[in-house]
Amino acid sequence: MKQKTDLLQGTLDMLILRALVTGPMHGFAIMSRIHQTSESALQVEQGSLYPALYRMEAQGWIHAEWGLSENNRRAKYYALTEAGRRQLGVESENWNRMCRAINLVMDFPL
Amino acid sequence: MKQKTDLLQGTLDMLILRALVTGPMHGFAIMSRIHQTSESALQVEQGSLYPALYRMEAQGWIHAEWGLSENNRRAKYYALTEAGRRQLGVESENWNRMCRAINLVMDFPL
DNA sequence: TGCTTCACCTAGATAATCTAGGCAAACCCA
DNA sequence: TGGGTTTGCCTAGATTATCTAGGTGAAGCA
């Protein structure tokens, strides 16, 4: 049985980029942010998050820097780059297009 | 580079089930139907469609029967079962929940 | 001292979809 | 009659994203 918290594939990068628009955050905070703003409907697993952050840093969409968290623990802060901001635009548009297309099919008159 | 026609993973079964609500159809027709009703935004590949149809028949969501197409060619007609109709409800609800959740994150105030 | 929470990391499994082929019959046209 | 195009079905293997299930270490608290 699938978990209801499974993400739609292809949306994780977009969600992370979107979370970072408000400013640099560390991985753990990104996780909680997505969980909270989605009203607990979305739960990103750590095993998905960290590889994604790596991928995205390699792509140049985000930039990492070690720092200290609010709780005085070492944490890696990720910040959106210019390329990341552009990528967010692309993915966001793509998402809207897909959403619309699927809803066209779903709402097609019987 | 990803094709813009790539489907969001997890939505294919739902789209097929939805297409069949209007009545039994063969695979080829399901493909065109989805393409048309989505205004060409969605393009299901045959290599995705047929395995999906098999999966879904094994699950008991659809029932297949050989027949003749409008063009007088042999074609396998798929019909929605009762279980398939229920499944469509489940997946449709799930899709709406996910959509809403993602949009909550995307539209979160800065 | 020991438990819990925060925070990061990774290997391997899982599963959905796509790529890229192939087959056969019907129709059309020369 | 023969060849090309369209219709329609099928499959093996690659790709890729995400999850599962483990792990580490340091901070804070009792």
B52–chain A nearest CA distance, Å: 17
Instruction: Please report, in tens digits, the pLDDT of each residue of chain A (110 residues total).
Output: 333 457 899 999 999 999 999 999 999 999 999 999 999 999 999 999 999 999 999 999 999 999 999 999 999 999 999 999 999 999 999 999 999 999 999 999 98
Chain D positions with a protein C-beta closer than 7 Å: 7-13, 17-23, 25-28
Q: B99 and A99 in contact (C-beta within 8 Å)? A: yes
Q: State, as a whole number of angstroms, the distance between the CA of B67 and the C1' of D15.
A: 35
Q: What angle do CA B41, B45, B46 make, to 5 degrees?
A: 145
Query: Which residue from B18, B22, B39 is facing A106, i.e. has the nearest CB?
Result: B18
Q: What angle do CA B106, B1, A97 make, to 5 degrees?
A: 35
Record the pTM: 0.92
- Provide the 3-class DSSP secondary structure of residue A71: coil
